[in-house]
Amino acid sequence: MTHTSLARSVAYAFAMAFALLGGPALANNDATPTRWVITLKPAARAQAADASNSVALRLAATAQRFAASAQLRQASVRHFVLTTADTPAGNHFQDTLDALRQDPMVLAVEPDQRRKRHNVVPNDPLFSSTTFASTQPVGQWHLKGNSGDVKSATNVEAAWSYSQGSASVVIAVLDTGVRFDHPELRRLTAGGRLLDGYDFVSEDSPNKFIAANDGDGWDADPSDPGDWIDAALIAANPAALSDCAAEDSSWHGTRTAGIIGALSQNGTGISGVDWNARILPVRVLGRCGGFTSDIVSGMRWAAGLHVIGVPDNFFPAKVINMSLGGSGACSVMEQVAVDEILARGTVIVASAGNSGQAVESPGNCRGVITVGGVRHTGTKVGYSSLGPEVSITAPAGNCVNTGAGQPCLYSIDTTTDRGTKAPAGPAYTDQMNSNVGTSFSAPIVAGVAGLLMGMNPTLTPAQIKAALQSSARPFPADPSLSACPGNITNGDNVGQCNCITTQCGAGLLDALAAVKAVNPTECLFNWAERSVPDLLPAGPGTDVVGPYQFRYYPSRDSYLGVSADQGRLLYVNGSSVTDLGTREGWYTQSGCYRLP
């Protein structure tokens, strides 16, 4: 079947669907969504290449003949978004959906669900206090080494000795957009590292842009205008905001982007995890979150896949961060996009969620690196979602203090804006303006993935995931807590539990160990020292002489050298030289040069 024939078949299915509706949309019904996504079955490459605007226009015209308020938008060769101003009459609508799903060319018909930024309101009274007596910034504790009670810090500071990222790597941040006026998040053309990006927040319904809050739909400006909601706005726009609560602007995308790539070594503010990667802001969330169809379009565009009606992205991301989600299983539309993106070699990192329950979508999509949250002590933070879909955990922020006006001791410091509604100027979060949630665990992992890509740009998404997991540190145990998923249900430690691998992933993120895992020379040195500690008693450091990297072992007055071409592994002791690579087979035994 040609692509044109396929499109005609789908158009016929839509015609049948709207005929069943019996005319224009009727009164709103909260139980029936007004937006649906239709995913077609895959066609052969040659057939898919025949897709044209005329097909989309013909389908849209067919839809509007049967429902005046209906709009049909083709998001990609395989995806359509159907929008109506009001909810169709319920009596026949299920039959309509069934008819669409039974069409041989349709893979799935699903509600275009809202996904929301993974925000969290902890139970610490400090969080709701708006007046603070003092400011006690603790700094970026989560990027340092561990000491004392702090067991979940990620060793990023030590990893910078091996990798500070690469300008050839692009990390996309799919979120609420960014504030380009923040001095840590300037555009590339203004001396920063942010690319231009794109805005994929569409209309709520035909010609209504309450959620977008910027007066239009998709455009080339991913600036965050603010996502505030108040009671008056909800009352005036119940269809767009009915399932959302009043809140100030979150500047969520500015926060996640800062964790990944705030300008570093500039004597100002904070340090991003990756010092050199380009940051690609992709706005997919507005007020009340964002629709799955917009998020999927943003994902595909960020990875360099074509999105109909949008100029192609000439700076495809190697890493995508999504600190967002919604309840329920991974949709067919999301999984199709994830599979396409992974096949292009792009890593996808998502936060697990802040419900304390099952992992949310897209974190539960197959192939995603899903990040759970832990406290500074390494136990699961109460609000973090958990389950077998979690790949790894990282600090999510926790306050410890419960008194009003007290500092949140283990906040995740990052960039933000001072405005409660519209932008009011750059700022930073700190202990008195705290920042917690798995939304901020995920960008730490995404930044570390950028460091790994910077060291070895040939790494695949599967290899990145394997390196992060294999290098993770074991979870510590607090004898006062039970193993997850069991948790405390009252008091100051609600939701906390001791992490286990079936609920919280492979372990605690360790950036230093992960970087070494993808540097085969360091890996081989470390393996050799563990294997023959009497011969190689932990060298003090690595140096380079000619074609060799070597370590010196003063107690043995010996050297271990690895040649740049991986052809020799020399052990030098006095006048004796032994090639352990060939004679002893250490290259093969170590496994360091066979990445997973």
Catalytic residue, chosen from 252, 323, 355, 434, is 252
- CA end-to-end span of the chain: 40
Alpha helices, H only, 85-243: 90-102, 125-128, 156-159, 231-236, 238-241
* Integer Cα distance of 589 and 566 in angstroms: 14
DSSP secondary structure, 380-410, as one string: BPTT--BSTT--EEEE--B----STT---TB
The tokens of 173 are what? 């941040």
* Integer Cα distance of 256 and 371 in angstroms: 14
Give yes or no: 252 in active site.
yes
Give yes or no: 175 in active site.
yes
Give yes or no: 439 in active site.
yes
Please report, for residues 309, 384, 483, the alpha-carbon distance to residue 390 in angstroms, rounded to integers and kept in the order given: 35, 10, 16
* Integer Cα distance of 421 and 331 in angstroms: 33
Catalytic residue, chosen from 205, 297, 439, 590, is 439
The tokens of 255 are what? 């926060």
Q: Which of 169, 173, 143 is nearest to 156 (CA)?
A: 143
H or E element, residue 62 = helix 53-66
Q: 292-302 and 332-343 helices cross at what angle (nearest 10)?
A: 10
Residue 136 CB partners (closer than 8 Å, separation 6+)? 407, 431, 432
Half-sphere exposure of 422 (CA within 13 A, CB side): 1
Contact 523, 590 (CB under 8 A): yes
For residue 167, which phi and psi values (nearest 5 degrees)?
-65, -15
Catalytic residue, chosen from 103, 112, 124, 175, is 175
* Integer Cα distance of 593 and 595 in angstroms: 6
Contact 166, 453 (CB under 8 A): yes
Query: Which residues are catalytically annotated?
Result: 175, 252, 439
